[in-house]
Amino acid sequence: MTLRVLNTLSGELEPFEPADPDDVLLYYCGLTVSDFAHLGHARTWVHVDVVHRWLDHAGYDVRHVENITDVNEKIVARVGEGDLGDSERAVATTFTDQLLADMRALNLKRAEVYPRVTEHVTEIIDLVETLIEAGYAYETDGSVYFDVHSFEDYGKLSNQTLDAVEPQEDGDRSEKRNPADFALWKAGGVDTDAVTDHRHPDREYDVTTPDGETWDSPWGEGRPGWHIECSAMSMTHLDSSIDIHMGGRDLVFPHHENEIAQSEAATGEQFARYWLHADLFQMGDEKMSSSLGNFVPVKDAVPQFGVNPLRVFFLSASYNSTQTYSEAAIHEAEERWERLHSAYRRASEAADSAAAHTTVTDEDFHAAVDDADESFTAAMNEDFNTREALTALSSLASAVNTHLDGYDEYDYRGLRRAIETFETFGEDVFGLDFTGTSEGTATLADELVSLVLDVREDERSAGNYERADQLRDELGALGIEIQDTDDGTEYRL
């Protein structure tokens, strides 16, 4: 059972073998904090999270680093907008705080560190100096550019040749030797044209011409280029050569291509051995993106749909295929989640009931649990096929229900195995919350509902079904669904 992953570098499925057999160094290209995170980001996060969790499950010690880009013209563009903040750093902090809150809400495993560009300018400058000394970069008028012609392998990730890239004329930065050269360090302050471009025509700003932050460097006052930060932070917090580098497919070129060029030019080592790219999330027939303004923010979606349904929704398509937003699809995922959760609860209650015996053995049940276990593992090992893995969990739910419906006395060991499988794969690997008691509010509300249910039960016993149904309908109108079972009436919000 070896893990195979689709490496963008080769375009092929490759056996996964970390440099150190016990550890995995994982870097995920995080966000530029210039807006609220949306479901497209959330989808990638959840998949990165599951990769992390699966590697944990496989016994690796995962060192996971995730950067936050807090220096960018788009951030500066929002200075003075509403309560976002009155400086680049303040705006970045506003969105960073929300981003981390969104991640917690999505039940993502924490990265080891969330490094920020503003905290790594020293390392960035050191890396740029190394590149200049090695002849891979040149300085012009206080700006420093990477000379793509000096790096032989340029284009190996996106499978493009310089000839294909070069015709894309840049225009404004004429001090570059070649159009494809990219900035490592930019002289002066923010690009005011870029800031203006990113301002929203319908929004009001307290500051008309905001400044971005600048730093001293050997080439004078300036700002770091976009790509250099990830190289610097990956090397600082992990190593000069790491195992996995992940990100959205839209980053393959130029961002990741440039990261490879500058990193490998500087160190002479392979920057990352496996490049995994999550495909994009679509809104209708175009991608969901901040710049297109067609996005659903995470902070709105989590309360609306719930974290478990959202995670199931994202995992119901594999990370390297596109997925399209639709409320109907998310509601379907919610039903799927409910089915899994309800089977888990039934198994737990049955295992604790007097009807469960260690002397009862349902061979079919055991075989189904074995099968779910093997299928889940095989699916995940084949490039994290979460959809197939989800299928295995559905089968497990069916197996539990079939057993409980078919037997009057229950197979205790079988139930325990099913429960453990749900917990291992559903909770630990997929990050679903099976054990949490819905919202964990065993309060006055619960007692009141119980009271109403008792009254309803009395009416039912007396044959007053009209009255009983009326109570059920009225509870339903309040958002409380009830369900009569052999073991009494259950309800959920």
Partner RNA sequence: GCCAAGGUGGCAGAGUGGCCUUACGCGGUCGCCUGCAGAGCGACUACACGCCGGUUCGAAUCCGGCCCUUGGCUCCA
Binding piece for RNA, criterion CB under 7 A, among 38-46, 110-118, 131-139, 430-438: 38-46
259 is in an annotated binding site: yes
The site string for RNA over 461-480 (x = CB under 7 A, - otherwise) reads: ----xx-xx--x--------
To RNA, the closest distance from the beta carbon of 289 in angstroms equals 4
Tell the smallest beta-carbon distance from residue 21 to RNA (Å): 27
363 is in an annotated binding site: no
Quote the radius of gyration of the chain (alpha carbons, Å): 27
Q: Which is nearer to RNA, 154 or 412 (CB)?
A: 154
Whether the upstream peptide bond of residue 303 has omega within 30° of 0, thus cis, is no
Q: Is 140 in the site for RNA (CB under 7 A)?
A: no
Would you count residue 217 as binding RNA (CB under 7 A)?
A: no
Does 66 bind RNA (CB under 7 A)? Our answer is no
Task: Decide if residue 164 touches RNA (CB under 7 A).
Answer: yes
- 426 binds RNA per the rule CB under 7 A: no
Beta pairing partners, 469: none
Q: What is the DSSP string of 255-305?
A: IIHHHHHHHHHHHSS-SEEEEEEEPPEEETTEE--TTTT---BHHHHHHHH
- Work out the angle between the directed axes of helices 465-477 and 444-461 (0-180°, nearest 10): 160
Q: Which is nearer to RNA, 241 or 289 (CB)?
A: 289
Site string for RNA, 283-322 (x = CB under 7 A): --xxxxxxx------------------------xxx-xxx
63 touches 26 (CB < 8 A): yes
**Long-range contacts, stretch 367-374, CB < 8 angstroms, 24+ apart:** 368/395, 368/396, 368/398, 368/399, 368/402, 369/396, 369/399, 369/414, 369/417, 369/418, 369/421, 371/395, 372/396, 372/399, 372/421, 373/421, 373/425
Does residue 29 have a known ligand-binding role? yes
> Among 30, 115, 222, 306, which residue sits at the site for RNA (rule: CB under 7 A)?
30
Contact mark string toward RNA, 173..202, x via CB under 7 A: ------xxxx--------------------
- Quote the tokens at residue 392: 């295995």
Using the contact rule CB under 7 A, the part of the chain among 79-87, 392-400, 411-419, 439-447 near RNA is: 392-400
For strands 410-411 and 356-357, give the pairing.
parallel
Does 441 sit near RNA (CB under 7 A)?
no
Q: Site map for RNA, 41-60, x if CB under 7 A?
A: x-xx----------------
Burial bucket for residue 155 (CB in 10 Å: 0-12, 13-18, 19+):
buried
Based on CB atoms, which residue is closest to RNA, 152 or 469? 469
Residue from 149, 402, 475, 492 touching RNA (CB under 7 A): that is 402
Closest CA to 289 of 84, 44, 25: 44
Closer by beta carbon to RNA, 23 or else 387: 387
**Shortest distance, CB of residue 259 to RNA, whole angstroms?**
11
Q: Which of 487, 493, 437 is nearest to 457 (CA)?
A: 487
Sign of CA dihedral 223, 228, 230, 236: negative
- Give me the count of residues in the chain: 493
Which residue in 207, 342, 355, 475 binds RNA (CB under 7 A)?
342
The answer to the question of residue 438 lying near RNA (CB under 7 A) is: no
Among 16, 54, 136, 226, the residue binding RNA under the rule CB under 7 A is: 226
- Buried b / exposed e along 459-481 (16+ C-beta atoms within 10 A): bbeeeeeeebeebbeebeeeebe
H or E segment and range at residue 209: none
Contact in structure between 397 and 343 (CB atoms under 8 Å)? yes
147 scored as a contact of RNA (CB under 7 A): no
> Does residue number 71 form part of the binding site for RNA (CB under 7 A)?
no
In the complex, the smallest distance separating the C-beta of residue 10 from RNA, rounded to whole angstroms, is 10
120 binds RNA (CB under 7 A): no
- Our finding on whether 115 is near RNA (CB under 7 A) is no
Residue 9 binds RNA, judged by CB under 7 A: no
Question: Nearer to RNA by C-beta: 17 or 335?
Answer: 335
281-283 vs 323-324, strand pairing mode:
parallel
Pick 90 or 252: Cβ nearer RNA? 252
Q: Is 41 annotated as a binding residue?
A: no
Q: Is 200 annotated as a binding residue?
A: no
Q: Kindly state the smallest distance separating residue 282's Cβ from RNA, in Å.
A: 6
Residues 247-286 that bind RNA (CB under 7 A): 247-255, 278-282, 285-286
Pairing between strand 481-485 and 488-492?
A: antiparallel
Binding residues: 29, 230, 255, 259, 290
